[in-house]
Amino acid sequence: MIESLVRLRGDVERATVEVILEGRWDARVRIDLAAAVRKGLAEQPRALLLNLAAVTEPDPALVGAVLLAERRCGAVQPAVPLVLVASDAVWHRLTAVGLMHRLPIYTSVAAAQDALRRGTPPFGRVRLDLQPGILAPSTARTFIGDTVLAWDLRDLLHPARSIISELATNAVEHAGTPFTVTASRRGQLLHLAVEDGDLGLPAVLDRVHGAHTGLDFRGIGLRFVADAAKAWGAMHTAAGKVVWATLTMRAQRSMAAAHDR
C-alpha cells in the first residue's frame, strides 16, 4: 500500500500555493489535508491548487474533503479560487457527483497554471533578485521601503522594512544562495516574501534568558516577524523554499477613507 502524504509547495512567481496529496486516499489524511488548506490560505495566494493527480483508490470521503476546501477558500477575504488537478480515478469520482460544474478540474498542474495565467488579472507585484552578500539585506530593506511609499502605505513602512530585513538576513546567513524578494498587494494584505535555494525551513526558537537573546541569535529574529506580521510562514518551492509574511492594509485604507470624507 502506498503511504499517504500531504505537502505544500509555493510558487512565488505565479503567487499560487499547491496542496499536493499523494498515495492512497482514506479518512486518515482528511485532517492533514484540511490543515494544509488552512496553511496555504494564510498566505492569501492568487489561487489554491489542490493537486490530486497522484491519489490512488479515492473513496467517497474525498468529495466531502474537496467541498470543505472549497468552503474554506470562499470564506477568506478576498475569496481564493480553488483549482483541482486530478488523476483519472479522482476525476471520475468528482465528475460523478457533478463537481465539474462548480470547480475547474485539470489533468495537469501546467494546464491549471496556464488557465490561471490567462483568466486572472495579475496582482500589483514587484520583485528584486539579490546575491547573498553583506549589503543584500540593506538593499532589500530599501527596495521594500520605496515600494511601500510608492503604494501609499506609509503606516506599513517600518514593519515592512524590518520584516524584509530579517528575512533577507536569514537568507544570506543560513541559505547562502541567490534569493528573490517580492512584494505584492493581495486584497487588503501586503504580502512580503523571500525565496532562496535552500530546502531547510526556518523555525522560531524558544526564548532564551541570558547573554545571547538579541536578534542576531539564530531563530530569535523570527519572533519579531511573528509579532509584527498578521501572518507568516514558510513552505518549499520547486527549487528551495519561500518565507513569507503579510501585513494588513485595512487601517491604511480606513484612514484614507476618513480623509476623503
Judgement on whether residues 175 and 77 belong to the same structural domain of the protein: no
In 97-168, DSSP assigns E strands to 105-106, 124-130
Mind listing the pLDDT tens digit for each residue in 120-154?
666 688 899 999 999 999 999 999 999 999 899 99
The region, left, alpha or beta by phi > 0 then psi within -120 to 50, assigned to residue 7 is beta
CA distance 206 to 135: 29
Judgement on whether residues 11 and 94 belong to the same structural domain of the protein: yes
Q: How far is CA 160 from CA 141, 152, 165, 167, 182, in A?
A: 8, 13, 8, 11, 12
Question: Whose grid coordinates read 529574529?
Answer: 221
For the entire predicted model, the pTM comes to 0.79
Between CA 143 and CA 159, with CA 205 as vertex, the angle to 5 degrees is 25
Final residue before a domain boundary, out of 119, 143, 169: 119
Mind listing the pLDDT tens digit for each residue in 232-244?
999 999 999 999 9
- What one-character DSSP code corresponds to residue 2? P
CA distance 88 to 94: 10
Tally Cβ neighbours within 10 Å of residue 135: 10
Q: Which range of residues forms the domain containing residue 218?
A: 124-260
Q: What is the pLDDT along the chain (261 residues), one digit of tens a residue?
A: 446 689 999 998 888 999 999 888 776 788 899 999 999 999 989 899 999 999 887 778 888 899 999 999 989 888 899 999 998 888 888 888 888 888 899 989 999 988 888 876 666 888 999 999 999 999 999 999 999 998 999 999 999 999 999 999 999 999 999 999 999 988 888 999 999 999 999 887 665 555 444 444 445 678 889 999 999 999 999 999 999 999 998 644 433 433 333
User: Three-state SS for 25?
Assistant: coil
Question: Whose grid coordinates read 469520482?
Answer: 93
Judgement on whether residues 209 and 167 belong to the same structural domain of the protein: yes
Amino acid (one-letter) located at 14: R
Judgement on whether residues 115 and 143 belong to the same structural domain of the protein: no
